[in-house]
């Protein structure tokens, strides 16, 4: 992006807010699907690939990084003059 089209703080915060709103909806849907799958696995005693564990760990790391980044944004906003 060239210097004349750099996003403003307001634009960046708006984009972040929209992404968080979409992520909230997506995460709620995924949580419902995960809870349903967990219940199904528990009642049927079905086997699941170890790839699920690997991918779940990867997602957890990503969510932790996202959480840290969001805390940094909020901290920066709180410390503004």
Q: Domain count of the chain? A: 2
* pLDDT tens digits along 15-56: 999 999 999 999 999 999 999 999 999 999 888 899 999 999
Return the number of other C-beta atoms located less than 10 Å from residue 13's C-beta: 13
**Which is more confident, 3 or 11?**
11
**Domain limits for position 30:** 7-47
Whether 38 and 60 map to the same domain: the answer is no
* Confidence tier at 3 by pLDDT (50, 70, 90): low
Whether 35 and 63 map to the same domain: the answer is no
Whether 41 and 67 map to the same domain: the answer is no
Whether 64 and 38 map to the same domain: the answer is no
- Measure the CA–CA gap between 20 and 54, rounded to whole angstroms: 25
Question: 1 lies in a domain?
Answer: no
């Amino acid at each position: 992006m060239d210097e004349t089209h750099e996003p403003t703080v307001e634009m960046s915060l708006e984009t972040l807010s929209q992404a968080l709103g979409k992520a909230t909806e997506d995460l709620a849907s995924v949580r419902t699907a995960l809870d349903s799958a967990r219940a199904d696995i528990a009642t049927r005693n079905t086997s699941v690939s170890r790839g699920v564990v690997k991918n779940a760990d990867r997602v957890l790391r990503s969510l932790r990084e996202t959480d840290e980044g969001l805390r940094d944004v909020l901290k920066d906003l709180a410390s503004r003059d």
